[in-house]
Amino acid sequence: MKQLNSNQCFGGQQQQFEHDSQVLNCTMRFSIFMPPQASEGKVPVLYWLSGLTCTDENFVQKAGAQRMAAELGIAIVAPDTSPRGDEVADDEAYDLGKGAGFYLNATQEPWAKHYQMYDYIAYELPTLIEAHFPVTDKRAISGHSMGGHGALTIGLRNAPRFKSISAFSPIVSPLHCPWGHKALTAYLGDDQALWVKYDAVELMKKIKGNEAYLPPIKVDQGLADNFLQEQLKPQLLENAANDVNYPFEINLRDGYDHSYFFIASFIDEHLKFHAQYLK
């Protein structure tokens, strides 16, 4: 790994690194906040997945999460949202290609060589973090919009590797929204049977009562969100969770939109939620 930046923050360190990813076949960046407690022993980790057009820097600079993370003793890892580099396939639209990896493993050309974001987030990146930083193997996952979709699907498919899941304004069902149809058709092809494992609502429907561990889920959704009705549809996930008695909490926030002002308003509550399961 190569360190790019380091800044002291609330007694801890906000840092940025790049590394060569074998899964993505390119050089990747991630940001990591190490709380002050990391100087005395290992700390648990929250993985934060950002939304369309974002990089590893948006959450770090806009969410204001470091103060509470320092108080709770939680590291936060914020990866990039897609593979990067001149050889990586891209599209002119903002919702496909670079900045729009959708946290899945692509099977279609020209995407398959690099766009293996599911394996990167679920396996390669945690292995790297746990090998090079003073962290435990207790992990939580959270995200916003496209990143909320990633947090829900990766968390649900990898219990108990991830102890808890949360999301702001998540795309809960790519099968039922324009963003999802465009991305999943491009990355996975036309067979929607292959899409199901990247759809949180469909994954929730398959939950049985005999699972060894169900990571609790917390969702916050702004009611002034321009994407609420067409793209996000949180009621689909709420209904699926209620049908299987899943440990699920949703907060509908009047007046809040899709921006980082919304995330900054409630990020402390999400960190406290995860702290219950990481300690």
- pLDDT tens digit string along 174-198? 999 999 999 999 999 999 999 999 9
pLDDT in the model for residue 209: 74
| Active site (catalytic) residues | 145, 225, 258
Domain that holds residue 168: 2-278
Query: DSSP states of 160-225 as a string?
Result: TTEEEEEEES----GGGSHHHHHHHHHHH-S-GGGTGGG-HHHHHHT--TT-S----EEEEEETT-
**pLDDT tens string 81-91:** 999 999 999 99
CA atoms lying within 13 Å on the CB side of residue 190: 0
Overall domain count for the chain: 1
Give the CATH number, domain containing residue 253: 3.40.50.1820
- Whose CA is closest to 84, among 145, 3, 24? 24
pLDDT in the model for residue 279: 85
pTM for the model stands at 0.97
**pLDDT tens string 221-278:** 999 999 999 999 999 999 999 999 999 999 999 999 999 999 999 999 999 999 999 9
pLDDT band at 211 (very low <50, low <70, confident <90, very high): confident
